[in-house]
Structure 1
Amino acid sequence: MIVKEKKEVRPFIGILLFVISIVLFITTCPIGLLYGLLHTTIRKSVKGLGEYTLKIAISIDQLGNVVMQHILNLLLIKKGGYKFGNRDETISSAIGKNIQLETLSGFGKFIDRMLNFIDPDHSLNSIDYFIEPVEKAYK
């Protein structure tokens, strides 16, 4: 088994790449989204449009999991809970893992109930067991 060493983070490069990514997102995303919506609707009809927009929703959810990780860890879980912030995981998946660990806070349980109202057992069904945990192993 090959073990990768953690790569050193260079703060200036991280900030520069963040700024570039925001500029590119703002300038190119509307064009790509419009083209993608039209292309998918013409090629695959409403079913294809639903699949395309779901992929976008999952990507936005993963971004939210990273951007909001600190506040989600503060508000939605008890001490020792499964942490939010994995870039490959949705917020719902992390909530589902905390349901199994019984580490959701009262507010976390409220958020889960709201998701369940829209889609029954949403968080539990959203758990991605193939995500490599960032800080500690999930069992």
Structure 2
Amino acid sequence: MIVKEKKKVRPLIGILLFAISVVLFITTCPIGLLYGVFYTTVRNSVRGLGEYALRIAITVDQSGNVVMQHLLNLLLIKKGGYKFGNRDETISSAIGKNVQLKTLSGFGRFIDKVLDFIDPNHSLNSIDYHIEPGEKAYK
């Protein structure tokens, strides 16, 4: 197995790419969302719309895991807990891993209980949960 060395990022390039991504997101997402809702509803009915909405929710959650990683690490976990910030993981998955490790802070346990009230065992069921687009998504 070949292990790639982490590429160094120049700070100004990172900031510039971040700014461009935000502008593109704000200007193009509303159009893409409207078209996606229309397309999905026509092609796959309300069930397809629910799956489309879930994919978007997971993507937003993964972004939140990166954007809020420092705050989440401060507020939700004890020292030595599983860290937030993995771009391929949801906040709920990281909470679930900390439930297993018993490293959630009091506030973290409260958030977990709120999630459990909405969806029983949500954080535990979210650990490494992946939704891969099916064939229908590309037709």
Is the pair's TM-score, using the shorter chain for normalization, greater than 0.5? yes
**TM-score, normalising length: structure 1:** 0.92
Query: Secondary structure of 1:20's partner?
Result: helix
Q: Percent identity?
A: 82
Q: How does 1:121-132 map to 2 (within 5 A)?
A: 121-128=121-128
Deviation at 1:82, TM superposition (A): 0.2
1:27–1:11 distance in 2 versus 1, CA, 3 Å: same
2-side partners of 1:125 and 1:4: how far apart? 31
* Alpha-carbon displacement from aligned partner over 1:14-57 (angstroms, at most 9, x marks no partner): 00000000110011000000000000001100000000000000
Partner of 2:37: 37
2-side partners of 1:79 and 1:129: how far apart? 25
Deviates more, 1:121-130 or 1:95-104: 121-130
Deviation at 1:86, TM superposition (A): 0.5
1-side partners of 2:24 and 2:129: how far apart? 32
Partner of 2:85: 85
For structure 1, which runs of at least 5 residues remain unmatched after alignment? 131-139
May I ask how many residue pairs the two structures share in their alignment?
130
Dislocated runs of 4+, deviation >4 Å: none
Deviation at 1:9, TM superposition (A): 1.1
For structure 2, which runs of at least 5 residues remain unmatched after alignment? 131-139
1-side partners of 2:31 and 2:40: how far apart? 14
Residue identity opposite 2:73 in structure 1: N
Pairing 1:102–2:132 present? no
